[in-house]
Amino acid sequence: MFDVLGNRTYRHLFLAQIIALIGTGLTTVALGLLAFDLAGAQAGVVLGT
């Protein structure tokens, strides 16, 4: 299964995909925190629309 990581090009593509996935997750969390920071108690309304 890990033999494909021996291919340098594929390994770079795979690592880039992992980094992009982590960035997407962090963005999702950051936007939720920003909505809470801006809206306070009304954050549920902001996040629900």
Domain of residue 31, residue span: 2-48
CA pair distance 22, 36, nearest whole angstrom: 21
Whether 49 shows a pLDDT value over 90: the answer reads: no
- Structure confidence by residue, pLDDT tens digits, 6-34: 999 999 999 999 999 999 999 999 988 88
Please count the structural domains in the chain. Answer: 1
CA pair distance 43, 8, nearest whole angstrom: 45
Q: Quick one: DSSP state of residue 29?
A: H
Which pLDDT does position 44 carry in this prediction? 76
> Shortest CA distance to 49 belongs to which of 34, 30, 35, 37?
35
Which pLDDT does position 45 carry in this prediction? 77
Q: Quick one: DSSP state of residue 5?
A: G
Which pLDDT does position 24 carry in this prediction? 97
Regarding predicted confidence, which is higher, 48 or 16? 16
Please tell me the pTM assigned to this model.
0.70
